[in-house]
Amino acid sequence: MHWHETENDRQMPWKGEKDPYKIWLSEIILQQTRVDQGLKYYEKFITVFPTLKDLATAEDDTVFKIWEGLGYYSRCKNLLETARYLYSEKKSIFPSNYEEILSLKGIGSYTAAAIASFAYNLPFAVVDGNVYRVLSRIYNEHTPIDTTNGKKLFSTLAEKLLLTSNAGEYNQAIMDFGAVICTPAPKCSNCFYSSHCLAFKVGEQNELPVKLKKNKIKERWFNYFLLSHNGSILLHQRTEKDIWQQLYEPLLIETDKDADKRFLSKLFRQKTGIDINLQSSVISKSQKLSHQLIHFRFYDLQPNHQISVENYSWISKTELSLLPFPKEISEQLTAFSNQPI
């Protein structure tokens, strides 16, 4: 706490914030997101939706468009669901006790503790990646943090150490300490606590924290057909439980491996009833998600009429900027339509 009060100069717009709505927004945005990336999204959300009511009453596409590029779109879906629940059932009043906060859609134990302590100074310890790293090194604790035993051990330890009289400031202090000093490549020479750090004493600080699980990466091949006719493009909104739910995309044919143009022409005919000869150049990209590697192929086609495909609609290119798209698709459509998407 002394370091936090005298030396910690880490600046973020939500630090010291007491409005639970803004704290909740910042925490949801920062899940699986670096602070430097999430900052501009937080500021945009606060500008466009300054109150919970503003967010709750907004159109889905409007909210998802602002979220576009941030990834993990289920967070945005849960954000909307919770905002609308609080608006309609709780008169836009954010709950002020931990259990009720935890019961809200998209909020886990970490986020609930953050909101409870930062907004209401309730005595709940926040345990994020920074805290795991600090505690594992100070105590030279090698129990893997991604196991049930590890999560319980570090959560119990964090609660034991919590300065209950000033929980919000203490939580911010230990998180900032992990972000500024006890970083993945630790700055031990600048650390006031190194003489008390058990891992530093035995030279094991770089080995901590320990993780057991390694994500198995699933590869997928997304073959997109940019069909345009008379200033419109054929699009579909992803509604199934999968990545990018509620975002838009051009005509998609997914394959389980990299398919040649002849095979894709056959699949295209089965989907649309139209014969094509894929001779045009194809744009290839890849994007790595947390558990998936997506390979993109984009084919530019101009049929002589607006073909009909189930669950797809023809949408004017001038309307594309109003719709949310996955990042790679948005970039390709921008080039395709010669206007920002």
Is 118 in the same domain as 2? Answer: yes
How many structural domains does the chain have?
3
The CATH number assigned to the domain holding 230 equals: 3.90.79.10
Give the pLDDT confidence of 160-178 residue by residue, as tens digits.
999 999 999 999 999 999 9
Q: How confident is the model at residue 280 (pLDDT cuts 50, 70, 90)?
A: low
Residues 6+ away with beta carbon under 8 Å from 220? 254, 256, 292, 293, 294, 295
Is 239 in the same domain as 310? Answer: yes
Give the pLDDT confidence of 201-249 residue by residue, as tens digits.
999 999 999 999 777 889 999 999 999 999 899 999 999 889 999 999 9
pTM for this one?
0.84
Is 259 in the same domain as 318? Answer: yes
Type of residue found at 154: F
The CATH number assigned to the domain holding 6 equals: 1.10.340.30
Match 């893997």 to its residue by tokens: 144
Size of the chain, expressed as the number of residues it contains: 341
Q: What is the pLDDT of residue 33?
A: 85
- Phi and psi of 224, rounded to 5°? -105, 140
Domain range for 24: 1-124
Geometric angle at alpha carbon 1, from 188 and 200, rounded to 5°: 20
Is 1 in the same domain as 44? Answer: yes
Is 27 in the same domain as 133? Answer: no
| Alpha-carbon span 58 to 266, nearest angstrom | 42
Instruction: Give which of 122, 90, 121 is closest to 103, Cα–Cα.
Output: 90
Is 134 in the same domain as 210? Answer: yes
Q: Which residues are catalytic?
A: 27
Is 120 in the same domain as 1? Answer: yes
Match 């998600």 to its residue by tokens: 289
Type of residue found at 13: P
Q: Where are the alpha helices (DSSP H) in the chain?
A: 2-6, 20-30, 35-48, 52-56, 60-67, 74-89, 98-102, 109-120, 129-138, 148-161, 167-180, 198-201, 261-272, 327-337
